[in-house]
Structure 1
Amino acid sequence: MVESTKKQLDPSKIMQTGTAFWASKLLLTATNMELFTILAKKELSGTEIQSRLGLHPRSIYDFLDALVALGF
C-alpha cells in the first residue's frame, strides 16, 4: 500500500504581496490630502475632516478607520 501525503498550499505570501500596496496607498493619500498637517494644528471630528478634505460622507469613516487600524 502506497501512502500519499498531500502538501497543504499556503497562499498567504501571495495575498500579502498582492495587497501590500494598500497600506502605502492609504498613507500616500492621507499625506497628499495634508490630513496629518491639518490634524497637527487642531483636533477635528470625522464630519469636519470630511468637509475640509471634500470626501464623500460614505467613505470618510472607512478612510479614517483604516488609518487608525494601521497605527496612524
Structure 2
Amino acid sequence: MGDYLETKIRQFRHEKGLTQQALADAVGVTRQTINALENARYNPSLLLAYRITKVLDKELIEEVFIIEEGD
C-alpha cells in the first residue's frame, strides 16, 4: 500500500506563532521529528498525532493529518 500522510503542521504552527522547537518541546519530541513530519518523511504514532493536534488547537486529527492514497 503506497499511502502516506500529508500534514498541515507547518501551516497551523505558523498561525500559532510556534517554532519547530517550541512545538517539539510541547509534544515531547525533537525538532528533527517535527521537521520530518512537516516534510512527510515520518508517520507519527496515534498518540503523537493526538498531542500535536491538541497543541495546535484543532479538534480533529483529520484537520492536521491527511491520508493520501498512493498506487
TM-score by length of 2: 0.37
Give the structure with the higher percent strand: 2
Structure with max Cα Rg: 1
Give the structure with the higher percent helix: 1
Q: Higher RCO, 1 or 2 (CA under 8 Å, sep at least 6)? A: 2
